[in-house]
């Protein structure tokens, strides 16, 4: 029994050390890929080659930053990885029979996209929370949104805002208009189902709502969170 306990403690300590090193590394280095990109290789629905192109935050249109924050995490600059206000609202909505909807922040989504596999089990959610805490401690908000925009899936084989901008609008991410940014944000996190350039009625309505809210998202010149 003692041996088992020692092995378990050793495994936990090794994981903690490895995860900290991993997060510190990505503070300075662009990730070469994500677990999701690898898993898509074995997904029968996957048909295209991986298209991704790293682009620093300074070369991404502020319209994109505003649109994604408005769509996915309005309190991104106020929380430390977990939006407890949104979680409480989601719980109440679900208990009252409303549409099931999560309250994952951009930090949590970045943790999931960068370090973990898709799924909704408790183990994965626990690991997501752990990585979210590390990211908020080690990374500035600029780095979190930069990594999110560079690895999020925007369609079959399309990862990151630069690949999405060139695939859908034939332009770079720095030149996206408010409307284009809103349509790209509107299809998240279901870009396999919805299209920004051939939008359904639901996507058009969501994009219009996002574009209307973008003006209230204040971002700084050098820092996303002023």
* 116-153 confidence digits (pLDDT tens): 987 778 899 999 999 999 999 999 999 999 999 999 99
Counted residue by residue, the chain has a size of 226
3-state secondary structure of 51: strand
Residue by residue, pLDDT tens for the chain (226 residues) are 787 888 888 889 999 999 999 999 999 999 998 988 888 777 766 666 788 999 999 999 999 999 999 999 999 999 998 888 877 776 676 666 555 455 789 999 999 999 998 777 889 999 999 999 999 999 999 999 999 999 999 988 899 999 999 999 999 999 999 999 999 999 998 888 899 999 999 999 999 999 999 999 988 878 899 7
pLDDT for 72 equals 94
pTM of this structure: 0.90
Instruction: Please list, in sequence order, all residues whose beta carbon lies within 8 angstroms of the beta carbon of residue 52, skipping any fewer than 6 positions away.
Output: 33, 37, 150, 151, 158, 159, 160, 162, 163
Place of tokens 């300590």: 13
Q: How far is CA 159 from CA 36, 124, 197, 219, in A?
A: 10, 22, 16, 24
Place of tokens 């089990």: 121
- By residue range, what is the domain housing residue 169? 2-214
What CATH number does the domain containing 79 carry? 1.10.3810.10
Place of tokens 């790293």: 54
Q: Is residue 222 part of a domain?
A: no
Q: Is residue 225 part of a domain?
A: no
pLDDT for 47 equals 66
3-state secondary structure of 74: coil
3-state secondary structure of 52: strand
Q: How far is Cα 79 from Cα 82, in angstroms, rounded to an integer? A: 6
C-alpha angle 44/195/73, rounded to 5°? 100
Q: How far is Cα 145 from Cα 138, in angstroms, rounded to an integer? A: 14
Q: Is residue 201 part of a domain?
A: yes
**Domain count of the fold of the chain:** 1
**Cβ atoms within 10 A of the Cβ of 191, count?**
18
């Amino acid at each position: 029994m003692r041996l088992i306990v020692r092995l378990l403690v050793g495994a936990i300590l090794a994981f903690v050390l490895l995860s900290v090193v991993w997060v510190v590394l990505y503070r300075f280095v662009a990730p070469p890929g994500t677990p999701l990109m690898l898993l898509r290789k074995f997904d029968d629905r996957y048909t295209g080659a991986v298209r991704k192109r790293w682009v620093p935050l300074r070369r991404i249109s502020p319209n994109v930053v505003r649109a994604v924050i408005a769509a996915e995490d309005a309190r991104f600059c106020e929380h430390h990885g977990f939006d407890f206000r949104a979680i409480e609202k989601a719980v109440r909505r679900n208990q009252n029979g409303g549409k099931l909807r999560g309250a994952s922040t951009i930090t949590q989504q970045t943790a999931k996209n960068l370090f973990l596999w898709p799924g909704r089990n408790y183990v994965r959610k626990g690991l997501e929370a752990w990585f979210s805490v590390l990211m908020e401690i080690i990374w500035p908000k600029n780095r979190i949104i930069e990594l999110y925009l560079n690895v999020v899936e925007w369609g079959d084989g399309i990862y990151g805002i630069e690949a999405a901008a060139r695939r859908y609008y034939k332009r770079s991410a720095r030149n996206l208009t408010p409307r284009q940014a809103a349509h790209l944000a509107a299809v998240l996190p279901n870009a396999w189902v919805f299209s920004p350039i051939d939008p359904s009625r639901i996507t058009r309505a969501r994009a219009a709502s996002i574009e209307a809210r973008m003006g209230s998202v204040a971002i700084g010149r050098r820092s996303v969170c002023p």
